[in-house]
Structure 1
Amino acid sequence: MNHRTVTNVVHRLAKFVCKWNTRQNIPVSLNRTYSSTTTRTTPFSTRFSKYGLFVGASTLSSLWFGKVIFAEENAQPCDSENSPSVWNILVDDTKSTNAAELKEEKDLTALTPSGSFRKSLPTVVLFEMESCPYCKRIRVALDYYRIPYSCVQVTAVGKKELRTTGSKKVPVLVVDGVEYHNSFDALWKIQDFADDSLKEDQRTIPTIERKWLYRIDDRLIPLITPNIAHTLSESYQSMKYLLSVDRYSWYERFSVNLLGPFFLYFMGKKSKWSLDIQDERRELFDELNQWMNDVGDRLFLLGERPCLADLCLFAFVKTLQPFDVMTDIKNHTHIMSWFRRMEQVVGPSQKIQNLRPKSSIWMF
């Protein structure tokens, strides 16, 4: 359902009200004059046409918005090994060597890629939504590898900015004119600019990293909605934040303010039932603590440098950072020491500018 359909529905409803006025023989002359002693009473049909249509249109747009508001939650399922959009990756069953035990925190800036080893930087544009965890993982990778990029903020409803691309969902990464619609494909491409010594068929990935790449998509990302909408109060605060960072038109904002928190709350409950979990907070804490158990005494999952699984999990935790659940994560998990190390090595944002596409995305 698009805005044109909503407009047609409201127009037909208005015609029905006009016919209803005629049947009730209610005069609607615009030239009616009233004496000073006459008390003017507004007919019910007039009040209905003024306020009923507005509320009806708001409700219709709210129902429409509820269908697509969090489509990104299930927009990108975890890629299977046979997926044509994912490069063939050889599995290395050998365990990574543990780094020396570190008793104290140290400066990790030396572990950050400098970017000087690349021959030439690509032209990178990211079509994104601020609250999307898949978009955030691409931004984290670009920041970590020190690749400058521009962003196109996509509207939450309708996604008009994606009409000239080959996808209807975010993220879309454009590298030197080539589009990547899958976040894993985008991550591999970004990693290419950091290390182009390996060919596609020579890429290896340790078993533990592969396990967590699947686990983040299969278990952790579906836990976002239940945890940011843990209660109706948290749902209201979460929706308030989402409205502040994502792009909406004025009537979409009105609809979301009216019914958005309720949609978010019930979508959280639906996700909880579909995952067959009793306590979404406990599930989240267990997953994060299991990550720390696998990290062990190393700085990161595989050693002294972050791997793709580190970047993806860091983006996941960054997605939860503005919400109330982050306070519980700090109090009930041991992940904050790793999180602070990741903040240090990822560094500041490499975003150059926000673009507003006109007729074509290739304007840049």
Structure 2
Amino acid sequence: MSCFRLATATVLAGGANASRRGAVRLLANKSHQEVAFARRHFAQAVQSGGGGGRKPNGTFKLAMLGAVVGAATGSVYTLYTRWTDGNSHKEHEETKPKRIEGIPKGVRITKRYVNPKDTSGLDIVLFQFQTCPFCCKVRAYLDYMGISYSVVEVDAVLRQDIRWSSVKKVPMVLIRQQDGSYVQMVDSSAIISLIATYLQDRRTDIGDLAQFYPHISFFDDDGKKKQDILNKYFLMYREHTPKSVTRETEEMDRKWRTWADDTLVHLISPNCYQTMGESLETFEWFSQAGEWDVHFPKWERDLMVYCGATAMWAIAKILKRRHALTDDVRSHMYDALDQWTAELKKRNTKFMGGKQPSLADLSVFGVLSSMEGCQTFKDCLKNTNIGKWFYDVKALVEKNRGELQRERIEGLAPL
């Protein structure tokens, strides 16, 4: 099973050259078809407009001019797009995690969680928004595992602390390798899988393990090129899978981790920002939870609150339509949480992982904790049975979490 996982990225990449050649032929054929189409319509226009020996009238001249200009513009645009995006036709292309020499200049550490019992040996810097559900997932895992880490609180509007990065998304982590350099990882699920893999078997440098989680390019159903870490829910065990792990438990864990990312998280925005008033209330809580008044100037804090609330109120409406939600958006959230608690009842276990939380438990908990101070969460506690499970996980996460040390040290690498 482990060999299959490690080979997944290689197999996918194997078809890249064939896809590239096919795409080039397709582009060439398309170009010839466009030229033939333009010539055919131009000839028809000449025949219809110039018959009987009469001189072309003004309408005919204008039509010919439009055809020529249109054909020229289309050709120029095609050449330009192919020149500026030479890789647009490529599929199954790999982009592996980057390695950088050290903490970028100007990065400002906001706070650290230091656990004296941490034996992982990991040196992690987490770039985050405090209440981002994906960031909350990563923190829930690190806290539950008792891992020490540093935090960079990123301005959600200006994002000055990640200007150095070509990837402008959070969560993002920098993890120190054995040679002192850092590997840069994005995508909350891939980050968790990478660290969980390393903790199971520390014989391989974490920077080398990260290379097994590349971004792979593909085309979606609408023909749009996208990238994703296709094996992000897999742990890369080596020769021996832990005795406590079975194929059933692995599949169950991956199923619910995927559910947290593809279903549950998409219900948060339409619920927490469904009205302008609720959106402002949510961002005021974000400000309080993220200590924005401490870490940012007042003007920057206000910009994040009011611009963020307005933007998310508008985005929530788009997401509501995209995910085909009814006006009663709360009911969709209740149904999702009922689905989770029904599975727990069916399994007759305290957590999805049994007596202790699994990666699925921590993922779902992380997503829900992102809205803990919002009215949506209060309504969920009243209308579903999610409360007991949520607070049971929270108690364990807080028990294992390292001691909080608040600081804002500019340009200082973690100790």
- Which residue pairs with 2:342 in the alignment? 293
Q: Is this contact kept in 1: 2:156–2:304, CA < 8 A?
A: no
Task: For 2:339 and 2:125, locate their aligned partners in 1 and report how far apart those are by CA, in whole Å.
Answer: 35
Q: Which amino acid aligns with 1:284?
A: M
Q: Is this contact kept in 1: 2:175–2:183, CA < 8 A?
A: yes
Match of 1:335 among 386, 391, 401: 386
**CA-to-aligned-CA distance 1:135-193 (integer Å, 9 cap, x gap):** 11111111110011111111112211113345211111122122211212210232235
Cα distance change of structure 1 residues 354 and 159 upon mapping to structure 2, 3 Å threshold: farther
- Which residue pairs with 1:26 in the alignment? none
Task: For 2:314 and 2:282, locate their aligned partners in 1 and report how far apart those are by CA, in whole Å.
Answer: 13
Q: Does residue 350 in structure 1 map to residue 350 in structure 2?
A: no
Match of 1:211 among 238, 245, 255: 255
Q: Does residue 139 in structure 1 map to residue 139 in structure 2?
A: yes
Cα distance change of structure 1 residues 311 and 241 upon mapping to structure 2, 3 Å threshold: same
Cα distance change of structure 1 residues 152 and 210 upon mapping to structure 2, 3 Å threshold: same
Task: For 1:174 and 1:356, locate their aligned partners in 2 and report how far apart those are by CA, in whole Å.
Answer: 18
Task: For 1:216 and 1:316, locate their aligned partners in 2 and report how far apart those are by CA, in whole Å.
Answer: 7
CA displacement at 1:232 relative to structure 2: 3.0
Report percent identity of matched pairs. 26
Task: For 2:119 and 2:276, locate their aligned partners in 1 and report how far apart those are by CA, in whole Å.
Answer: 52
Q: Does residue 181 in structure 1 map to residue 176 in structure 2?
A: no
Cα distance change of structure 1 residues 151 and 265 upon mapping to structure 2, 3 Å threshold: same
Cα distance change of structure 1 residues 357 and 287 upon mapping to structure 2, 3 Å threshold: same
Cα distance change of structure 1 residues 166 and 272 upon mapping to structure 2, 3 Å threshold: same
Kindly report which structure 2 residues correspond to 1:13-32, keeping only aligned pairs within 5 A, or say none.
Answer: none
SS in 1 for 2:262: helix
CA displacement at 1:262 relative to structure 2: 3.9
Task: For 1:259 and 1:162, locate their aligned partners in 2 and report how far apart those are by CA, in whole Å.
Answer: 19
What are the ranges of 5 or more consecutive residues in structure 1 without an aligned counterpart? 1-81, 88-113
- Which residue pairs with 2:324 in the alignment? 276
Kindly report which structure 2 residues correspond to 1:214-253, keeping only aligned pairs within 5 A, or say none.
Answer: 214-244=258-288, 245=290, 246=292, 249-253=297-301
Task: For 2:364 and 2:94, locate their aligned partners in 1 and report how far apart those are by CA, in whole Å.
Answer: 24
Cα distance change of structure 1 residues 258 and 347 upon mapping to structure 2, 3 Å threshold: closer
Cα distance change of structure 1 residues 175 and 322 upon mapping to structure 2, 3 Å threshold: same
Compare the two structures and name the one with the higher strand fraction.
2
Match of 2:312 among 261, 264, 275: 264
- Which residue pairs with 1:302 in the alignment? 353
Task: For 2:240 and 2:298, locate their aligned partners in 1 and report how far apart those are by CA, in whole Å.
Answer: 51
Q: Is this contact kept in 2: 1:150–1:351, CA < 8 A?
A: no
Q: Is this contact kept in 1: 2:120–2:147, CA < 8 A?
A: no
Q: Is this contact kept in 1: 2:157–2:308, CA < 8 A?
A: no
Cα distance change of structure 1 residues 200 and 335 upon mapping to structure 2, 3 Å threshold: farther
Match of 1:325 among 372, 376, 381: 376
Which sits farther off after the overlay, 187-196 or 244-253? 244-253
SS in 2 for 1:125: strand
**CA-to-aligned-CA distance 1:189-225 (integer Å, 9 cap, x gap):** 3223542287358666632222211111111111111
CA displacement at 1:256 relative to structure 2: 5.4
Q: Is this contact kept in 2: 1:301–1:307, CA < 8 A?
A: yes
Q: Kindly tell me the number of residue pairs found equivalent between the two proteins.
A: 255
Cα distance change of structure 1 residues 280 and 236 upon mapping to structure 2, 3 Å threshold: same
Q: Which amino acid aligns with 1:339?
A: F
Q: Which amino acid aligns with 1:298?
A: T
CA displacement at 1:304 relative to structure 2: 1.4
Q: Is this contact kept in 2: 1:235–1:262, CA < 8 A?
A: yes
Task: For 1:277 and 1:130, locate their aligned partners in 2 and report how far apart those are by CA, in whole Å.
Answer: 27
Q: Which amino acid aligns with 2:337?
A: L
SS in 2 for 1:293: helix
Q: Is this contact kept in 2: 1:140–1:346, CA < 8 A?
A: yes
Q: Which amino acid aligns with 1:313?
A: V
What are the ranges of 5 or more consecutive residues in structure 2 without an aligned counterpart? 1-91, 98-114, 177-181, 203-235, 242-246
CA displacement at 1:358 relative to structure 2: 4.0
Q: Which amino acid aligns with 2:343?
A: D
TM-score, length-normalised on structure 1?
A: 0.62
Task: For 1:86 and 1:218, locate their aligned partners in 2 and report how far apart those are by CA, in whole Å.
Answer: 23
CA displacement at 1:292 relative to structure 2: 0.9
TM-score, length-normalised on structure 2?
A: 0.55
Q: Is this contact kept in 1: 2:197–2:237, CA < 8 A?
A: no
Q: Which amino acid aligns with 1:199?
A: Y
